[in-house]
Amino acid sequence: MNSKITGLGSYIPELKIPNNHFKNHQFLDDKGVIFKQNNDTIIRKFVAITGIEERRYAPAKVNTSDMAYEASLKAIKDANIDPETLDYIIISHNFGNVNHGHNQSDMIPSLAARVKQKLKVKNPSCVAYDLIFGCPGWVEGVIQAHCFIKAGVAKRCLVVGAEALSRVVDPNDRDSMIYADGAGASIIELSEENGGIYAHESASYTLEEADYLFNGKGFSSDANETLFIKMYGRKIYEFALTNVPLAMKKCLDNSKFNITDISKILIHQANEKMDEAIVNRFFKLYNIETPEGIMPMCINQLGNSSVATVPTLYDLIVKGNLPNHKINKGDVIILASVGAGMNINAIVYQH
């Protein structure tokens, strides 16, 4: 008996925002000074580092809880379950519902309560709560669901990662080009089948690192008191390269598998160059070369949708919607993420 992901679903907004959308933006540094480089150069360098060519934004009338609901419906259908049998609904996000054209976050009631209501689940013993854990939120939600199942207090959980980052970005900040919207959902349940979660690892670094990602004022001199998502990119890059490979190794070493057993690594789609460096450093810890095709990516078309990136990537591969990548029954994969907090986590999972 083990915890298995029996259903997956994702909501990928139809609205595509290509990089040329930003050609006429006025990008400023953190002192409010216009960059000397023109926007064509800024965008070209941005693509070279992040790999992002376009991203998806949610329609104006669609909010984070709506995307979470749509992804949940697909996961429930994929698992072929009755939502009334859910013991927990865990919704991971960072900003709650943010109405289009506004910046105020709405988290009362919780997004999980709203999703449960939309699903028309009557069972009061189905506990719905939100999880705020930065970009690693969905992975952490899966770990929590697994722990509930192993403890015998749950048999079936819905875990969702959803975010509308396009509504909390500073239009004068170059980093605004990174962020995107979307949702990914999963059903985790007790299963008699082989496979499932064999190890997990989580860590929070807060003493010096807590403010690497934060809410801050806009860069424009006439910006009001509205706060936007901000980050110290170089610090995050260095932190991730140092700590994520070690967490992944500790997780793998605590499982029954070897490095040569790993078929895919589904890592948070944050920055293509950073993710490649993390995975390369991970394999160097075992003194072997990184296998070709080990790290699928969807960031080039979908951007960074925070908590939604890992479940969305997993769903795309399993449903055959990511060219040149597939995950077969029995394959061993690693799910890993890093983000605000700073938090890190990883799971060794047999599909």
Q: What digits encode the pLDDT tens for the residues 269-294? A: 999 999 999 999 999 999 999 999 99
Q: Do domains 2-193 and 197-350 have the same CATH topology?
A: yes
Question: What pLDDT sits at residue 32?
Answer: 80
For 46-72, b where at least 16 C-beta lie within 10 A, e where not — what string? beeebbbeebbbbeeebbbbbbbbbbb
∠ CA 233-247-11, rounded to 5°: 65
Asked if the model's pLDDT at residue 31 lies above 90, the reply is no
Q: Name the residue ranges covered by the structural domains of the chain.
A: 2-193, 197-350
Name the strand (E) or helix (H) holding 343. strand 343-350
Asked if the model's pLDDT at residue 65 lies above 90, the reply is yes
Distance from C-alpha of 230 to C-alpha of 87, rounded to nearest angstrom: 36
For the segment 209-220, the average pLDDT, to the nearest whole number, is 90
For the segment 107-120, the average pLDDT, to the nearest whole number, is 97
Distance from C-alpha of 275 to C-alpha of 135, rounded to nearest angstrom: 14
Which CATH entry fits the domain spanning 2-193: 1.10.1740.10, 3.90.550.10, 3.40.47.10, 3.30.1360.170?
A: 3.40.47.10
Query: Considering only 25-39, 144-158, 322-336, which range has the smallest mean pLDDT?
Result: 25-39
Asked if the model's pLDDT at residue 33 lies above 80, the reply is yes
Q: Is 64 left (phi over 0), alpha (psi -120 to 50) or beta?
A: alpha
Spatial CA neighbour of 189 closest among 314, 4, 1, 7: 4
Q: What whole-number percentage of the chain has pLDDT above 90?
A: 86
Spatial CA neighbour of 339 closest among 158, 141, 132: 132
For the segment 333-345, the average pLDDT, to the nearest whole number, is 96
Which CATH entry fits the domain spanning 197-350: 3.40.47.10, 3.30.497.10, 3.30.70.360, 3.10.450.50?
A: 3.40.47.10
Q: What count of other Cβ atoms lies within 10 Å of the Cβ of residue 11?
A: 27
Question: What pLDDT sits at residue 221?
Answer: 67
Average pLDDT, the chain: 94
Task: Tell me the three state secondary structure of residue 52.
Answer: coil
The model's pLDDT over 78-107, given as tens digits with 9 standing for 90+, comes to 999 999 999 999 999 999 999 998 878 999
